Amino acid sequence: MTDDPNAKKPDLDRVWAALADQGYALTSEGEIGLPDNFREYFLKTYFTDTHIRHDPGDYPKDRKRARDVIRYWWDGDGEDPRLEEHDTIALTDRAGIPGKREHSRLWLLDDAQAEDFVRAILKLVPPGRREPTGTFGVNLFRTFTDVVTKPHHDDEELIILYVLQRKGEGAETYLYDLPSEGESVGGPVLRRQLNPGEIIIFDDACFLHGATPLEALPDGTAMRDVLVCTIDSLDTYLSGLQSGRSAAVPVGSPG
């Protein structure tokens, strides 16, 4: 990203069209306008023992994680959202996991480079699908064996995966169409090993998603660092609001 007002803006029409046509789109850090050194910076700054941790009861059993939740408002010309840190990152009865879950919290808006990343990912949402206000989850995951436990939904609107680092093979992201009632799950719509710098965005409601286990290198090394971002359903944190993409005034915007 750049502060130059004359800098060329990323052209996301291809991404938006693919998302509308097939429910998912593949892109990259370069295509969405992230700087070349962003991955290295984010890994060194946040994928550390100071920030990521394993929480008791979390699966896979060796996964480390951290999380932030950001409130956004699309107002004005709709080109750049206003952002605030949300007051909680707790997840309650989400993604098929009962109860309340708390994880290590980050405050990404205190960091200009991380804030630029948040803005770049939010702009992947097609303009016609942008709620006047909502929440955006950023999840840091470091895995060593299993990436996920099974195909699943996250119960959110859109999911964005951005691979920062991978040591080893495997870890192939897959999407399955939802089977009709009484039918079994068919073959994957997509099965792809995402390399560092690659990004996928998809409609959570349209697919079961997950990833195959990591496969260690000959020296036994296996590790994958990924950002899993969510354009949240309103009922995740803002259950009192109604969906209103045509609303003229964002609901609950800060004073």
Q: What is the pLDDT of residues 44-65, one digit of tens each?
A: 999 999 999 998 877 778 899 9
Q: Name the residue type at position 109.
A: L
- Compute the average pLDDT of residues 198-221: 95
Q: How far is CA 148 from CA 35, 159, 194, in A?
A: 29, 15, 15
State the Cα–Cα distance between residues 91 and 102, nearest whole angstrom: 7
Q: How far apart are CA 255 and CA 244, in angstroms?
A: 20
Alpha-carbon distance values, 7 to 2, 11, 13, 121, 177 (Å): 7, 12, 18, 18, 39
The amino acid present at 50, given as its one-letter code, is T
What does CATH list as the number for 27-237?
A: 2.60.120.620
pLDDT at 93: 63
What is the model's pLDDT at position 251?
36
Residue 252 has pLDDT above 50, yes or no: no
Q: What's the chain's length in residues?
A: 255
What local confidence, expressed as pLDDT, does residue 179 receive?
77
pTM given for the model = 0.89
**Closest to 3 measured CA to CA, from 32, 37, 33:** 33
Rounded CA gap, 17 and 24, in Å? 9
Structure tokens at 36: 């070349």
Q: Does residue 189 surpass a pLDDT of 70?
A: yes
- Rounded average pLDDT over 29-34: 98
Q: Return the closest-CA partner of residue 175 out of 213, 214, 210.
A: 210
pLDDT at 3: 52
| CA–CA gap between residue 226 and residue 110 (Å, rounded) | 21
Rounded to an integer, the average pLDDT of 14-41 is: 98
